Amino acid sequence: MRLVADPSLQRWDDGRTVAGGSPYRIMRLTARGGELLDDWIAGRPVTSGRSLADRLVRTGLVHPEHDAANLGTDDLTVVIPVRGENPTALLAALEGLRVIVVDDGSPTPIPGATVRHDTARGPAAARNAGWRLVTTPLVAFLDADTLPQPGWLAPLLRHFEAPDVAAVAPRVRSAPGGSALERYEQTRSPLDLGAQPGPVLPGSRISYVPTAALLMRTETLAELGGFDETMRFGEDVDLVWRLTARHQARYEPAAIVEHAPRPSWPALLRQRYGYGCSAGPLGRRHGEHVAPVRISLWSVLTWLLIAFGRPQLALAVTGAAAVLLARKLGALGIPATESIKLAARGNLGAARLLGDALGRSWAPLAIPPLLLTKRGRVVLALVAARHLAEKGELDPIRHTLARVADDAAYGCGVLRGALRERSTIALRPVLTDRGGRSSVPVNGDSA
């Protein structure tokens, strides 16, 4: 195994203090640990210090690269849940692999399906019916409207050289097209988790991976009992969160699977609404994992003071937080100037997070009262305007309108799910420094 530094990795004090990853964290290494990290970043393989290497990988500070894989295509079975059209193109792309097709109550039976349900029982039941027939060490789930790109399997299989890795997900990109909807989905598909690899951890940059395309150890599925068939949406997130509570999961964007975009704008909004509805059931099962925002109490106070027209007090709060952070991080060898930069970036990032929550998960509850005041309307305008700076295939105005509608549909679903579950968990923020704890996790010495 070799290690590649994450773009967020920073080092101070002769390399012994390292920071980065998601959630952002700081680690203090021993002198030997710093030397090992120097060697690994220079390209030398991991031959000693494996516990430190594994810890750095799990926190997202570095990413593993394996030269080869002992598991191959003979060790894999692909499960395809289908309801509707025969996945002809997908089956052609999987030629030579073991494949199980589960027809989940299609109006016209799918020719050659391994399993057929008389009535539609949902994607969780269809996937369960498929993987329980698998006899290989690995099982891959692919939705019927996906299409793996050449070479997609090799990068995924190599991750299973690490015995604690139980699942690996490829990048799921929306298939290219010329319509406004297709171009919007190319940059805003909820299935596309971006171009950077990383560990899958609730509350992190990659907090979940979809089972539209996912490779797993079959024994782990058996251990977890498969998918929760009572969930119509969010069953994949539920499975992944149950998995990451016990095992490691990775996101590998070097492997690419294309996914068909929604057929129409109403279909897209219905999908986003359905995704939002899953937040309530997920909150009941996984608590704070489903929180709409994780933010420092200091940042909340800062932006509330700014919103209520108290910029001087906001500046004082920011300054006090920066001083406290500089004292704490100074003991770890981080210069005061870097601590101030961290505090400033943290507050700017908090503004984006709060804007995302206001315009998305909290939208149905936040927008009506904010519209009643001039200051509230200014806040809403700024929340919507944040989309103007996003990179998209549409012009900025149409992109912004699409994003606002997309977010509002999701937020309506979140509210519906919360009401159905009679729980506010999916709406409550998580304050990352409650009880005086630092919002920057600080770990002790590590060899």
Give the domain CATH number at 141.
3.90.550.10
User: 49 with 107, same domain?
Assistant: no
Q: Report yes or no: 139 and 132 within 8 Å, Cβ to Cβ.
A: no
Q: Does residue 273 fall inside a structural domain? A: no
User: 61 with 133, same domain?
Assistant: no
User: 151 with 237, same domain?
Assistant: yes
How many residues are listed for the chain in this entry?
Answer: 447
User: 334 with 358, same domain?
Assistant: yes
Q: Does residue 325 fall inside a structural domain? A: yes
Q: Does residue 288 fall inside a structural domain? A: no
Q: Return the pLDDT at 243.
A: 97
Spell out the long-range contacts of 134-137 with Cβ–Cβ below 8 A and sequence spacing 24 or more: 134/77, 134/79, 134/100, 134/218, 135/77, 136/74, 136/75, 136/76, 136/77, 136/98, 136/218, 137/71, 137/75, 137/76, 137/217, 137/218, 137/219
Rg (CA), the chain: 23
C-alpha closest to that of 297 among 347, 263, 338: 347
User: 46 with 79, same domain?
Assistant: no
Domain that holds residue 39: 2-65
Q: Does residue 21 fall inside a structural domain? A: yes
CA 60, CA 23: separation in Å to the nearest integer? Answer: 9
Global pTM reads 0.91
Per-residue model confidence as pLDDT tens digits over 322-352? 888 888 888 888 888 888 888 888 888 888 9
Q: Of 65, 90, 108, which residue is a domain's last?
A: 65
User: 172 with 208, same domain?
Assistant: yes
Q: Does residue 363 fall inside a structural domain? A: yes
User: 135 with 154, same domain?
Assistant: yes
User: 88 with 57, same domain?
Assistant: no
Q: Of 65, 96, 120, which residue is a domain's last?
A: 65
User: 57 with 79, same domain?
Assistant: no
Q: Does residue 286 fall inside a structural domain? A: no
Chunked into runs of 10 residues, the chain (447 residues) has average pLDDT values of 95 92 90 95 94 94 93 96 92 96 94 94 96 98 96 96 96 94 94 95 93 97 96 93 96 97 95 95 94 89 87 88 86 85 86 92 94 91 91 91 96 96 93 50 33
User: 60 with 78, same domain?
Assistant: no
Q: Does residue 98 fall inside a structural domain? A: yes
Q: Report yes or no: 443 and 23 within 8 Å, Cβ to Cβ.
A: no
Q: Of 30, 46, 65, which residue is a domain's last?
A: 65
Tell me how many degrees the CA angle 299-19-439 measures, rounded to the nearest 5.
Answer: 25
Per-residue model confidence as pLDDT tens digits over 294-305? 988 888 888 888
| Tokens describing residue 139 | 């099982």
Q: Report yes or no: 162 and 100 within 8 Å, Cβ to Cβ.
A: no
Q: Return the pLDDT at 446.
A: 33
User: 326 with 189, same domain?
Assistant: no
Residues in a beta bridge with 102: 81, 115
Q: Is the dihedral of CA 39, 42, 44, 46 positive or negative?
A: positive
Backbone torsion region of residue 441, taken as left when φ is above 0, otherwise alpha when ψ lies between -120 and 50, otherwise beta: beta
Q: Return the pLDDT at 445.
A: 34
Q: Return the pLDDT at 433.
A: 67
Quote the number of domains for the chain: 3
Q: Return the pLDDT at 438.
A: 35
CA 314, CA 422: separation in Å to the nearest integer? Answer: 35
Helices of type H across 101-212: 123-131, 153-158, 180-188
Residues in a beta bridge with 208: none
User: 95 with 20, same domain?
Assistant: no
Q: Does residue 241 fall inside a structural domain? A: yes
- The most distant pair of C-alpha atoms in the chain lies apart, rounded to whole Å, by 70
